[in-house]
């Protein structure tokens, strides 16, 4: 364990729960939930490299809720050992998770690509930068992505 | 090199002067695909892009880049400009292509 992290253990004795509503197709607010979590982690003195991991993983998940699903809810629990992110949407579900996880695979339409999205790197980034990731999906119902980033 | 040095160098048009012009510019970084920018933009980078929408600003704040340089006279849309103003983010624009824009920053930094 790194020294600069020891302090956080003392400050963070409780869990902090944060809830965000993500609205569909609202690009003006996309990334706000991730920015807010980043800000909170920074205030808590969490190591910058850990904050980067959370920011990347959560931003990609948040964007996917906006561009591929009809929005949804994000629930974040920060405890002394980990950041737990649960992103639940009411979208179309993912037909082939293995395919969706492939780097470069994207079903994003042209108007979304024109904004800089649709590199097909979102899910691979989420997998890479989180320490644990789980996807539950049901066609026509929605998708829930759960990710953990360990704080030690 | 600080943001204010890049402003004073008059290489680019200043679309918005941010609140922290004393911030250090570490290096130029060029990218337009936001997923790649998100994971690769170095902290403090002068980010050269042709993407001028609100998402550019979200990625800037999540990656701690120092400023945005819109190359190729790319459009910076109205919601993005408003957000840059309210969040105090420095945005430049230039008719130079992406590589030449980054090179200009690089050369100024190494002067
Ligand atoms: N929450 C989601 N709901 C439905 N489909 C999704 C969701 N997230 C990802 N997908 C599907 O997986 C593909 C790959 O996702 P991702 O790697 O993030 O790339 P991109 O978002 O650039 O398309 C998407 O194009 C989409 O088809
Ligand atoms: Mg994505």
Q: Does the structure show a pLDDT above 70 at B83?
A: yes
pLDDT of residue A11: 52
Interface contact B35, partner A, CB < 8 A: yes
Query: What's the gap between Cα A107 and its chain centre?
Result: 19
Q: Dig out the tokens for B87 from the structure.
A: 């969040």
pLDDT of residue A13: 64
pLDDT of residue A106: 97
- Percent of chain A at pLDDT > 90 equals 84
Average pLDDT for chain B: 97
Architecture of domain A14-150: 2-Layer Sandwich (3.30)
Nearest to A116 among B34, B61, B83 (CB): B34
- DSSP code per residue over B35-69: HHHHHHPPTT-EEEES--SHHHHHHHHHHT--EEE
Q: Which residues have their alpha-adjacent CB atom under 5 A from ion ligand 2?
A: A 64, 122
- Residue A25, min C-alpha distance to chain B (Å): 12
Q: How far is the CA of B84 from the centre of ligand 2 (A)?
A: 24
pTM of the model: 0.91
Q: Does the structure show a pLDDT above 50 at A8?
A: no
Contacts of B50 in chain A (CB under 8 A): none
Architecture of domain B3-110: 3-Layer(aba) Sandwich (3.40)
pLDDT of residue A60: 97
- Give the confidence band of A12 by pLDDT, cuts at 50, 70, 90: low
Q: How far is the CA of B4 from the centre of ligand 2 (A)?
A: 35
pLDDT of residue A68: 95
- Residue A9, min C-alpha distance to chain B (Å): 24
Please indicate whether residue A74, judged by its CB atom, sits closer than 6 Å to ligand 1.
no
Question: For B7, which DSSP code?
Answer: H
Q: Look at A6-10, B46-50, B75-79 and tell me which has the smallest mean pLDDT.
A: A6-10
Contacts of B58 in chain A (CB under 8 A): 30-32, 34-35, 59
ipTM: 0.88
- Percent of chain A at pLDDT > 70 equals 91
Domain ranges of chain A: 14-150
Give per-residue pLDDT as tens, B8-52.
999 999 999 999 999 999 999 999 999 999 999 999 999 999 999
Distance between CA atoms of residues A86 and A146, nearest Å: 4
Residue with tokens 């492939």: A102
Distance between CA atoms of residues B29 and A140, nearest Å: 40
Q: Does the structure show a pLDDT above 80 at A83?
A: yes
Give per-residue pLDDT as tens, A126-146.
999 999 999 999 999 999 999
pLDDT of residue A5: 44
Nearest to A116 among B32, B39, B43 (CB): B32
Interface contact B75, partner A, CB < 8 A: no
Q: Which residues contact A129 (CB under 8 A, 6 or more apart)?
A: A52, A53, A54, A56, A57, A149, B39
pLDDT of residue A24: 83
Q: Span A83-104, mean pLDDT? A: 97
Q: Please indicate whether, in this complex, the C-beta atoms of B38 and A117 are within 8 angstroms of each other.
A: no
Please indicate whether residue A34, judged by its CB atom, sits closer than 6 Å to ligand 1.
no
Q: Span A75-88, mean pLDDT? A: 97
- Alpha-carbon distances, residue A128 vs A60, A103, A147, B90 (angstroms): 11, 11, 11, 31
Q: Does the structure show a pLDDT above 90 at B80?
A: yes
């Amino acid at each position: 364990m790194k020294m600069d992290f020891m302090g956080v253990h003392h400050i963070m004795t409780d869990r902090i729960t944060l809830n965000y509503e993500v609205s569909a197709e609202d690009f003006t607010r996309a990334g706000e939930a991730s920015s807010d979590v980043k800000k909170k982690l920074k205030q808590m003195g969490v190591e910058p490299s850990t904050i980067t991991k959370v920011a990347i993983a959560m931003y990609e998940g948040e964007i996917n809720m906006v561009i591929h699903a009809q929005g949804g809810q994000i629930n974040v629990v920060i405890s002394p050992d980990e950041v737990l992110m649960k992103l639940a949407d009411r979208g179309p579900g993912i037909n082939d998770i293995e395919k969706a996880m492939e780097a470069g695979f994207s079903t994003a339409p042209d108007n979304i690509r024109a904004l800089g999205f649709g590199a097909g790197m979102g899910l691979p980034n989420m997998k890479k930068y989180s320490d644990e990731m789980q996807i539950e999906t049901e066609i026509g119902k929605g998708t829930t992505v759960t990710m953990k980033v360990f704080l030690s | 090199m600080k943001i204010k040095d890049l402003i004073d160098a008059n290489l680019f048009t200043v679309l918005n002067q941010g609140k922290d012009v004393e911030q250090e510019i570490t290096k130029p970084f060029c990218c337009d695909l936001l997923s790649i920018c998100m994971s690769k933009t170095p902290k403090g980078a002068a980010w050269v892009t042709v993407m001028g929408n609100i998402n550019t600003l979200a990625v800037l704040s999540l990656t701690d880049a120092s400023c945005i340089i819109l190359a190729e006279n790319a459009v910076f849309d109205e919601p993005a400009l408003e957000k840059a103003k309210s969040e105090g983010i420095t945005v430049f624009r230039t008719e130079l292509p992406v590589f030449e824009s980054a090179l200009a920053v690089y050369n100024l930094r190494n002067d």
